[in-house]
Amino acid sequence: MKTGNINFRDHFLFFILAPLIIIVGVISYYRFMINHDYMVGYEGNCDPVSEKCFIGCEDDECTEEYYYSQIIKYAPDLYKECGGDITDCEAANICLPEDRNCSITYCDPEIDGDDACAISAEESDVESNEGESLEDNEINKNI
């Protein structure tokens, strides 16, 4: 079946989708590449003496363990505090008052299993500076 002359009615799927996809691309570019409008998750420092930390392995055989908490921060805040790399950035391991969305999750044996959590002296829970939990919990607790 040949299509000689291009007209809108025959190709309206393309003519509508193509600009929409371009708009979506531009918005996505603006959101991710310019605004950095997304959350960043990473493993933060954790002291197994004071918190219930997640246990991680340095290698496949798990000959050496390390302890960590799960931190989620809003990317623009993290960029502001640490630049592009969180290595050796202390601010990355805590939730600051000016952080818009920040949460630190410690290991919960009931959810994650006893084996995943390091034994600690104190009870620990998710700490956050969002909504109700912001008021109920101690803010910006050092890890």
Partner 1 sequence: MICYLFPAPIYFFFSSEVPKLLYYSHIPTTIIALLVGLYLFWHGRKFLLNRLLLTITILFSLWTTVNLITWTNVNSDVILFSWSFIGLIFSLISIYSIYFTYVFLNKKDISVKLKTIFLVIISPIVIFTPTYFNLGGLNITNCDAFKFEQLPFEYYYTLLGGLAMIWIFVLLIRRYRTATPDFRKQIILMGAGIELFLFSFFMIVFLASYLTKIGIFPDSDLELYGLFGMVIFMIYIGILVVRFGAFNAKLIATQALIVGLIVLIGSQFFFIQTPINFILNGITFIGVIVVGFFLIKSVKKEIQQREHIEKLAVELEHANEKLKSLDKLKTEFLSLASHQLRSPLTAIQGYTSMLLEGDFGAIGVKQKEAIDRVFQSSKHLTVVVEDLLNVAKIEQGGMQYIMNPFDFEKITSDIVKDLSVTAEKKGLKLSFETDKKSPYTVKGDMEKIRQVIMNFIDNSIKYTKTGNIVVKLVKDEKTKKVIFSVTDTGMGITPEIKKTLFAKFSRGDGGKMDTTGTGLGLYLAKEIIEAHKGKVWAESPGADKGSTFSIELSAI
**Cα→Cα distances 17→9, 25, 137, 142, Å:** 13, 12, 48, 50
Phi-psi category of residue 131: left, alpha or beta, with phi > 0 → left and psi -120 to 50 → alpha: left
Mark the segment that binds partner 1 (CB under 8 A) among 82-90, 117-125, 126-134, 135-143: 82-90
Mark the segment that binds partner 1 (CB under 8 A) among 45-53, 83-91, 102-110, 127-135: 83-91
CB of 138 to partner 1, least distance (A): 25
Cβ closest to partner 1, residue 63 vs residue 87: 87
Among 10, 90, 130, 136, binds partner 1 (CB under 8 A): 10
Among 16, 22, 49, 62, binds partner 1 (CB under 8 A): 16
CB of 86 to partner 1, least distance (A): 6
Site for partner 1 contains 17 (CB under 8 A): yes
Residue 119 to residue 104: CA distance in whole angstroms? 18
* Residue numbers 45-74 binding partner 1 by CB under 8 A: 72
- Encode burial over 91-118: b for 16+ CB neighbours within 10 A, e otherwise: ebbbbeeebeebbbbbbeeeeeeeeebb
Residue 91 to residue 28: CA distance in whole angstroms? 28
DSSP state of 45: P
Quickly tell me which residue has 């363990």 as its tokens. 65
Binding stretches for partner 1 (CB under 8 A): 1-4, 9-10, 12-13, 16-17, 20-21, 24-25, 27-29, 31-33, 36, 38-43, 72, 75, 78-79, 84-87
